[in-house]
Amino acid sequence: MAARGNETAVSAWRPQVPGVVEVFHARFTEYAYPMHVHEAWTLLIVDSGAVSYDLDRQRHGTPHDTVSLLPPHVAHNGSPATPGGFRKRVLYLDASRLGEELIGPAVDGPDLRDPVLRRRVGQLHTALARPGDELEAESRLTLVGERLRGHLRPADARPPRRDPGLARHLRELLDERVVQGLTLDEATALLPAHPAHLVRAFSAAYGIAPHQYLMSRRVDRARRLLLAGRAPAEVATATGFYDQSHLTRHFKKLVGVPPGRYRTGAAGGSTPTAPPATPRATSRATPRATRLT
């Protein structure tokens, strides 16, 4: 749903990602929120301007480099802290991502100055806005939750440990489900492990995140089908992409050109020909293979 006016722009949706109740993007110049509460955790970043708010009778603010985490069931308000208002992106997360034991620490310190966390929250918003990238969004959300817990309960922050066996099993699952895909919830049900540990173990073992690995496998399959003459829209369906634009985005990222141009270039390029046969009946021509990278 989107509503626009001279001073207000709002966009909100419910993504197909477990744990995310709502994504809310807004631009306000004068509007001020009265005191209110949410059932969910409020994870807030401000892209321009600043917000002032009261939480548990304490005044707080959100400068550009801050991530704010407001706990459920605790009253707060909000109003522009700069003349031009503010532009914000908000995630509402349910208790499966952050437990009630973290409410107290979040009330004491809701504004977190952490450039890595700020960047990851922004990347998560980008992934949530793209249908078909749910595994990426789940992975990013898992790492964001882990970092939030590390701020609120520092004793729980442990250095990641390598687990090559777990990583191998996850890769085998991804290989089996290139087209149908895999959610983190499904993976953790089949490979009992915390989602954050699963993502970190895979990334440490292979130097690539699980969602990047899956998309690489899909793009490889798409290349073969395009070279066989199939249309990009048909290829998108056959290789597990949400739609043709989803295929195009990832294909161009990994190959450098969109699938239509790749297919046209392959069809119009020169095709290696076999060397001419020699008069000797005993000779055999050895075909030369062309490898695509």
Q: Which CATH number do you get for residue 130?
A: 2.60.120.10
- The DSSP 8-state label assigned to residue 277 in this structure reads P
**Model pLDDT, residue 112:** 95
12 and 126 housed in the same domain: yes
Structural domains in the chain (count) = 2
**Model pLDDT, residue 145:** 95
- Closest of 201, 186, 110, 200 to residue 148, by C-alpha: 110
- Of 64-68, 241-245, 251-255, 276-280, the one with minimum mean pLDDT is 276-280
**Model pLDDT, residue 192:** 87
Grouping H, G, I as helix, E, B as strand and the rest as coil, residue 65 is coil
Phi, psi angles (nearest 5°) of residue 11: -140, 130
Specify if 256 maps to a domain: yes
**Model pLDDT, residue 178:** 97
Q: How far apart are CA 207 and CA 167, in angstroms?
A: 11
Q: Which two tokens stand for residue 176?
A: 């089996």
> Concatenated DSSP letters for 120-175?
HHHHHHHHHTSTT-HHHHHHHHHHHHHHHHHHH-GGG-------HHHHHHHHHHHH
- pTM of the full predicted structure? 0.82
Each residue's pLDDT tens digit, 185-219: 999 999 989 999 999 999 999 999 999 999 999 99
Q: What is the mean pLDDT of the chain?
A: 87
Per-residue pLDDT, averaged over 84-102, amounts to 92
Each residue's pLDDT tens digit, 9-18: 999 999 999 9
Per-residue pLDDT, averaged over 45-69, amounts to 90
User: Bridge-partner residues for 2, per DSSP?
Assistant: 11
Specify if 291 maps to a domain: no
Residues in contact with 293: Cβ distance below 8 Å, sequence separation at least 6, in sequence order: none
194 and 253 housed in the same domain: yes
- Of 138-142, 152-156, 250-254, 266-270, the one with minimum mean pLDDT is 266-270
pLDDT-derived band at 270, boundaries 50, 70, 90: very low
Q: Where are the beta strands (DSSP E) in the chain?
A: 2-4, 8-13, 20-28, 33-36, 41-49, 51-55, 58-61, 66-70, 76-80, 86-93, 111-113
Percent of the chain past pLDDT 90, that is, above it, reads 75
**Distance from the first to the final alpha carbon of the chain:** 42
- Of 29-43, 50-64, 233-247, 248-262, the one with minimum mean pLDDT is 50-64
Q: How far apart are CA 141 and CA 17, in angstroms?
A: 9
Which domain range does residue 25 map to? 2-98+111-156
**Model pLDDT, residue 265:** 75
Each residue's pLDDT tens digit, 100-139: 899 999 999 999 999 999 999 999 999 999 999 999 999 9
Each residue's pLDDT tens digit, 164-176: 899 999 999 999 9
122 and 149 housed in the same domain: yes
135 and 21 housed in the same domain: yes
223 and 91 housed in the same domain: no
235 and 171 housed in the same domain: yes
Q: What is the CATH number of the domain that holds 171?
A: 1.10.10.60
Check residue 3 and give left, alpha or beta (phi > 0: left; psi -120 to 50: alpha).
beta
pLDDT-derived band at 273, boundaries 50, 70, 90: very low
Per-residue pLDDT, averaged over 43-58, amounts to 93
Cα 220-203-45 angle, rounded to 5 deg = 100
pLDDT-derived band at 5, boundaries 50, 70, 90: very low
Percent of the chain past pLDDT 70, that is, above it, reads 86
Per-residue pLDDT, averaged over 72-92, amounts to 94
Exposed e or buried b per residue across 38-66, where buried means at least 16 C-beta atoms within 10 angstroms of its C-beta: bebbbbbbbeebbbbbebeeeebebeeeb
pLDDT at 148 over 80: yes
Exposed e or buried b per residue across 161-179, where buried means at least 16 C-beta atoms within 10 angstroms of its C-beta: eebeebbebbbebbeeebe
Q: Which two tokens stand for residue 110?
A: 């809701």
pLDDT-derived band at 159, boundaries 50, 70, 90: low
pLDDT at 3 over 50: no
Cα 196-129-253 angle, rounded to 5 deg = 80
148 and 192 housed in the same domain: no
